[in-house]
Amino acid sequence: MTIMIPAWVNGDLQPVEKLAAHQRGLRHKAVSVFVMDGNRVLIQRRALSKYHTPGLWANTCCTHPDWGEDAASCATRRLREELGITGLTCDHRGQVEYRADVGGGLIEHEVVELFLARATADLTIRPDPSEVMETRWVAADVLAEEVAQHPERFTPWLRIYLAEYGDLIFAPAG
């Protein structure tokens, strides 16, 4: 199945095949979700079958919207598809942009809509094994410490989010 994502080509937003967008390092739309229970964040370890960054820890959910799909709908859809999570409200936290080498000659150059969803410890999580091999709750400050001590265990985008955008993501809603 060919997945088309919104990417900028010669200044115009166009549908581009997902792998091709990463191979060419095209700037493209993305969505990232952080599910929180108090000060704890739900993180996921990417399935070994993923074509980039397999086995690395990432934020709760990250993806690309389908062509024509709005970011909030995408965030809700991917929480359900990747983790079996339903019934949460995703609050928009802002937009950020980053560029990172993700290995294998692939580049993520993303314009990301960030979302935060509040949950409780009894949240039902049913990961899709083709997407996620493991999940865990971790305090935000402990996660930052783990990333600093062992950056190789975490995706480049999670490292960037924590280093550059932590205040935006984790700040109390206002």
Q: Which residue numbers are catalytic? A: 62, 110
User: Is-contact 134 44, C-beta < 8 A?
Assistant: yes
Give the β-pairing of 57-58 and 40-46: antiparallel
C-alpha span between 162 and 78 (Å, rounded)? 21
Residues 6+ apart with CB under 8 A from 112: 30, 31, 32, 62, 95, 96, 97, 98, 157
Helix (H), strand (E) counts: the chain:
4, 9
Q: Which amino acid is at 166?
A: G
